Amino acid sequence: MDVTDDFGPFDGRTWINCSHQGPLPRVAVEAAQDAVNMKITPHRMARSEVFTEVPLRLRETLGQLVGVHPDDIILGNSASYGLNVLANGVRWRDGDEILLVSEDFPATIFPWLPLRERGVRLRFIKPEGPRLDPTELESQITPATRLFCVTWVHSFTGYAIDETAIAQVCRRHNVMCVLNVSQGLGYRQMKPAEIGVDAISSCGFKWLCGPYGTGFCWIRPELRDTLVYTQGYWLANLTANDLRGDFAYEIRSDLGARAYDLFCTANFLNFMPWTKSVEFLLKCGIEKIEVHNHALASRLIDNVDRDRFEIHSPTGGPARSSIVVLRHRGEGQTKRCFEVLKDQAIDVSLRKGSLRASPHLYNTERDIDRLVDVLNAFGR
Ligand SMILES: Cc1ncc(COP(=O)(O)O)c(C=O)c1O
């Protein structure tokens, strides 16, 4: 895969840090410019159809990405948004319990915290190994458990859970299964309706290469229909065209997922480019991107000096992702190493005391070799 001309320029830097921010492909930059032009000369926004076309096209693209009907996509601005829709929408009963995983990414935990005030108990599972085993989940479910929420690919460890087995455990016990898929979607196949989870939520600004402030969620329609509707939004119920004549101040009964969209759903500056980004990924092919990313991660794992660096993310098997987590064996050296990389114009993250490299479709073998060269020369 060679898409280097479709991204950048990167100011001469090597960005191996997609799990922090994914860059916009050029087609998305052009779409962002179109959105800016519309606002410079607002007569271009006078055609009221653009307010419906922009979200419609994004829904179609995201629906294709995760294999669900576009009408079932809820548009938001983050992973947190979708999880909050659920936290606020489920009809909780006193004594209900939510299971979470300790040390999960904060975005997967915080949406549920306010529910403690509403009589919902939160219980944290501490996995024995580096990722939660489905049997551990099963052993923790009680008759009070209503929902389980976990991150698909862990931001700090690079481990992916066995989403199919986890979903099966939840189904067996009639527990809602919710996944934060932010660190996997864009290079791993995720078909939530097929594997039987109840909801997924994702940000759009990492592996989906959208602008910051994008996200979406999918909630199984049968579950969505049971949620409390709390957020009356005029443009979900009316169009700007309706204002030209008489209209009713009434909530439509056929809103479906749109009832839960973030307000100002025709978010031109963000959604026009994001649509182009996801279309671009789909054109490249998610499976091909996974193979590409996998090869780059392997190149790093295979070539870094293991006498000096230990790998904390999985080095093989289905738990592997495009996130490689490594740490220098010397006391305090990992942080120094991070600084040296930055000075050498190579960007990775420092998370929980480890380096996190996360290559995506725009990265090349040369990028990985540059990273390996600096790592292997470090402290010599
Ligand atoms: C697993 C995971 N979820 C979500 C996010 C971002 O959260 P939000 O989109 O709610 O800001 C991150 C960012 O690092 C993440 O790693």
Q: Which residues of 273-303 are buried (b: 16+ CB within 10 A; e: fewer)?
A: bbbbbbbbbeebebeebbebbbebbebbbee
Mean pLDDT of the chain: 96
52 burial level (CB within 10 Å; 0-12, 13-18, 19+) = middle
The pLDDT value recorded for residue 380 is 65
Sign of CA dihedral 55, 56, 58, 64: positive
What is the Cα Rg of the chain in Å?
22
- Give the burial class of 103: count Cβ atoms within 10 A of its Cβ; 0-12 exposed, 13-18 middle, 19 or more buried: middle
The pair of three-digit structure tokens given for residue 9, joined into one six-digit string: 């320029």
Point out the ligand 1 atom lying closest to the alpha carbon of residue 203.
9
Tens of pLDDT, residues 193-240: 999 999 999 999 999 999 999 999 999 999 999 999 889 999 999 988
pLDDT of 154 strictly over 90? yes
Q: What order do you get walking across the sheet with 309-311 strand by strand?
A: 309-311, 324-328, 354-357, 349-351
CA distance 358 to 207: 10
List pocket residues of ligand 1, CB cut-off 6 Å: 78-80, 105, 107, 151, 155, 180, 182-183, 203, 215
The mean pLDDT of 180-191, rounded to a whole number, is 98
Q: For the packed helices 333-343 and 365-377, what is the interaxial angle rounded to 10 degrees? A: 130
Using DSSP's 3-state secondary structure scheme, residue 123 falls into: strand
Residue 239: per-residue pLDDT:
86
Longest dimension (CA), the chain: 77
pTM, two decimals, is 0.97
Q: Check residue 143 and give its pLDDT.
A: 98
HSE-up of 183 (CA within 13 Å, CB side)?
A: 28
- Residue 177 Cα to ligand 1 middle (Å): 18
Whether the pLDDT of residue 48 is over 80: the answer is no
Residue minimizing CA distance to atom 9 of ligand 1: 78
Q: What is the 3-state secondary structure (H, E, C) of 184-223?
A: CECCECCCHHHHCCCEEEEECCCCCCCCCCCEEEEECHHH
Protein residue whose Cα sits closest to atom 2 of ligand 1: 182
Cβ distance 380 to 308 under 8 Å? no
Q: Which of 154, 183, 262 to mutate to test the pocket of ligand 1 (most atoms within 8 A of CB)?
A: 183
Q: In CATH terms, is domain 27-282 a member of 3.40.640.10?
A: yes
> pLDDT grade, residue 46 (50/70/90)?
confident
Per-domain residue ranges of the chain: 4-16+285-377, 27-282
What confidence tens digit (pLDDT) does each residue in 226-277 have?
999 889 999 999 988 888 899 999 999 999 999 999 999 999 999 999 999 9
Query: For a substitution probing ligand 1, which of 203, 216, 322, 352 has the most ligand atoms within 8 Å of its CB?
Result: 203
Instruction: Name the DSSP letter for residue 41.
Output: S
* Whether pLDDT at 187 is above 90: yes
pLDDT tier for residue 130 given thresholds of 50, 70 and 90: very high
State both tokens at 327: 């740490």
Q: Mean pLDDT across the stretch 314-340?
A: 96
Check: CATH 3.90.1150.10 for 4-16+285-377?
A: yes
Q: Which atom of ligand 1 is nearest to the CA of 81?
A: 10
- pLDDT > 70 in the chain, percent: 100
List, as one string, the DSSP characters of 310-342.
Answer: EE-S-SSSTT--S-EEEEESSTTHHHHHHHHHH
| Mean pLDDT value of segment 306-323 | 96
Is the pLDDT reported for residue 104 higher than 90? yes
The phi, psi pair for 42, rounded to 5°, reads -60, -10
The predicted pLDDT at position 241 comes to 83
